[in-house]
Amino acid sequence: MDLKDQFSDAAKVPIGETLSSSQTGFLGVFNEVFGFHDSELWSYDLSVDNRTLEMVFDYIVRWDLEESGVYNRKWRKLKLDLGDILFIEFGDSSEEFGLRHYVRRRVDLRLRLHDQPDAVRRLSKTFPTKLQGAVLDNITVRKFHDSFLVEFEWLTTKTPTMAIDNVCCTDIKLSFTADPRPER
CA atoms within 13 A on the CB side of 111: 14
Can you give the pLDDT at residue 105? 80
Q: What is the mean pLDDT of the chain?
A: 85
Could you read off the pLDDT tens digit of each residue along the chain, which spans 184 residues?
A: 799 999 999 989 999 999 999 999 999 999 999 989 889 999 989 888 789 999 999 998 887 777 887 777 888 999 999 999 999 998 766 666 666 566 778 888 887 666 777 776 776 666 766 678 889 999 999 999 999 999 999 888 766 556 789 999 999 999 999 998 886 5
pLDDT 10s digits, 74-93? 889 999 999 999 999 987 66
Contact by Cβ (8 Å): 148, 84: no
DSSP code per residue over the chain:
--HHHHHS-TTTSPTT-EEETTSTTHHHHHHHH---TT-EEEEEEEETTTTEEEEEEEEEEEEEEPTTS-EEEEEEEEEEEEEEEEEEEEEEEE-GGGS-EEEEEEEETTS-GGG-HHHHHHHHHHS----TT-EEEEEEEEEETTEEEEEEEEEE-SSTTEEEEEEEEEEEEEEE-S--EE--
pLDDT 10s digits, 34-44? 989 889 999 98
pLDDT 10s digits, 95-107? 666 665 667 788 8
CA atoms within 13 A on the CB side of 142: 5
The rounded distance, in Å, linking the Cα atoms of 137 and 152 is 8
Burial (CB count within 10 angstroms: exposed 0-12, middle 13-18, buried 19+), residue 53? buried
- pTM comes to 0.86
Contact by Cβ (8 Å): 155, 135: yes
